[in-house]
Structure 1
Amino acid sequence: MPLDVVRLRVLVAVARAGTVTAAARELHYSQPSVSHHLARLEAETGAKLVQRAGRGIRLTEAGRLLAERGAEILGRLDAASAELSAHVGLRAGRVRLAAFPSALGTFVPAAAARLADDHPGLDLRLMEAEPPEALRLLRAGRVDAAVVFRYGESGPDDDTDDDTDNDTEDDGVRLVHLLDDPSLLVTSAAHDGAGDLAAYADGPWIAGCERCRAHLLALCAEAGFEPRVSFTTDDYVAVQAMVAAGLGVTVLPRLALSAHRHPGVRVTELPGSTRRVYAATYGEPPDPPATTALVAALRSRRDG
């Protein structure tokens, strides 16, 4: 029997909210209505989806599986609805973009302004997300495009012709190259310092979270040492303030310095260390007109 979309949306809401009460509040349903939809969904699927846990409920393994797939299905349905609206001559509709912080602080606002000028009927929604989360949102249909980056050690094939702006990942994510963003060694301007990593091998370093510091660790390993990380933050404004105060040194991409430059820091470009920034879309081409217009706006403003 085909799955009922309304009941599937209820199950996804319960999984996301954690309780029937919270899901009912999110959906503007009564609690008995949520329970009824869950019971009917179990009857339709022939699977036990929820079970009692104390005074509440929890999803079974089958329930978690269906909720995960359901979130993807509902995301694609919502995206299809937005795409259909966008087809009406780009006079109406919605287009959603996820981008990492330094992109949102530099070239994305200019692209958004260009899109608004060219297509004033479009409703652009912006969301901050680091590349892994942005790609998850993209695959789930919760955004229509994402601005992401790849370092040379983890990116798509960088040996392609420089005039080729399009790459495709194995899972259906399509990439349009926007710009190259070099890495910069950031040190305090109050001290005369060398411009290479090894000169700071014995000093304190400032790094991002465990997930975000992989590139820094790789650069230091190439220079022959493991950095002693004394401070951890993903806030590039705070990072520069710490460096300016002499609390350590760090490596940041140029976009972060373009978004905010502390007057008390000195920067030195690190040769051969560049991340490639892309606009990512998902699924078979062509993209919906609204998404195509968004990517075109990003490409037109890619130099910041």
Structure 2
Amino acid sequence: MLDIVRLRVLLAVSRTGSVTAAARELHYAQPSVSHHLARLEAETGAKLVQRVGRGIRLTEAGRLLAERAAEILGRLDSASAELAAHVGLRAGRVRLAAFPSALGTFVPEAAVRLAHDHPGLDLRLAEAEPPEALRMLRAGDVDVAVVFQYGPHGAAEGAGLRTTPLLDEPSLLVVPGSGPPATALRDHAESRWIAGCDRCRAHLLDLCALAGFEPRISFTTDDYVAVQAMVAAGLGVAVLPRLALSAHRHPGVQVTELPGSTRRVFAATYGEPPDPPAIAALLAALR
């Protein structure tokens, strides 16, 4: 059977890149870290680390075990928090990851409601875009992930994932306030566009393709405050979800709703129902 302490040592070595740094992080003596690694190799029958100059690196087997160790240890930490929650919501911890515009709008309101209803519950918040939030959820680093997707299918699918719908929001065409009124996408086929990163701009490309053109993307940023500032300055036009405008609305832009373009926002949890009381309380506050 794998030893939990030794898995923590392996994960620390994977994270820090050296025995010395892992010992410092874990508050262990350096020989103790080396001993645990050696014992873990003996237990598994696999070579987990190899010397590289004055340092070490994980072998393929070591990387595989470190990835599983992250999931196992995350689940153990979650189990500890859930057990505390089952004792009662007077104490305990619940962890939430959410994308920026959710953190800038309804998540703080949910946090206030949760604190009012369960004042002893410790809520931890982390900012993460959907792919990273779901990775954190599967690894046990968070208990709930607030994510979004366009269309009927998206990243929040897979074994063990369950979703709670929160809201549907339209996409908005954002143009300079000093120019003509905001109009349809096709009227901006020759405009410069401001878009998100390669992973995030797929929705814009799909919308423009349906309108019969490919956007000329001149600026790239995922910061919705920066997007609106650039639009207001006349550097281009953009498409943003309504939550982004609810979190921050630049006075120098005007918007119009794009029909047929909906972003679905929901809370994702991992594992079989029922949810532990702390997670159920957080989901209720989000709803």
- TM superposition score normalised by structure 2: 0.98
* Stretches of structure 2 lacking an aligned partner (at least 5 in a row): none
% identical equivalent positions? 81
Displacement of 1:32:
1.5
How far is 1:169 from its partner?
3.5
1:68 aligns with 67
Residue in structure 1 matching 2:215, options 227, 242, 245: 227
Instruction: Assess if the C-alpha contact under 8 Å between 2:182 and 2:256 holds in 1.
Output: no
Does 1:152 pair with 2:140? Answer: no
- Can you list the C-alpha shifts for 1:3-59, whole angstroms capped at 9, x where unaligned? 000000110111111121221221111221111110110111111000011111110
1:239 matched to 2:258? The reply is: no
Matched AA of 2:12: A
Once the two structures are TM-superposed, the CA of residue 194 in structure 1 deviates from its matched residue by 4.6
CA distance in 2, matches of 1:18, 1:223: 50
Which amino acid is 2:76 matched to? Answer: L
Aligned-pair CA distance for 1:155: 3.6
Per the alignment, residue 302 of structure 1 pairs with none
Residue 62 of structure 2 is aligned to residue 59 of structure 1: no
Contact residue 96 and residue 146 of structure 2 kept, 8 A: yes
Matched with 2:269 is: 281
Shift of 1:181: 1.2
Equivalent-residue separation in structure 2 for 1:89 and 1:61 (angstroms): 43
Q: Distance in 1 between matches of 2:152 and 2:203?
A: 9
**Deviation of the 1:238 alpha carbon:** 0.5
Q: Cα deviation per residue 1:74-102 (whole Å; 9 max; x = unaligned)?
A: 00000000000111121111000000000
Give CA-to-partner distance per residue, 1:185-232, whole Å, 9 cap, x none.
Answer: 000010014511111111110001111111111111111111111111
> What CA deviation, in whole Å up to 9, does each residue of 1:136-171 have, x standing for no partner?
111111100010111115349xxxxxxxxxxx9431
Write the mapping of 1:193-204 to structure 2, written as runs, cut at 5 A.
193-204=181-192
**Counterpart among 142, 153, 175 of residue 163 in structure 2:** 175
State the match for 1:114 in structure 2. 113
Distance in 1 between residues matched to 2:27 and 2:256, nearest whole Å: 55
Instruction: Return the TM-score normalized by structure 1.
Output: 0.92
User: Match of 1:180, SS?
Assistant: strand
Residue aligning to 1:97: 96
Q: Report the residue type matching 2:120 in the other structure.
A: G
Aligned equivalents of 1:201, 1:24: Cα separation in 2? 58
8 Å contact 2:172–2:258 — kept in the other structure?
yes
Name the aligned partner's letter for residue 109 of structure 2: A
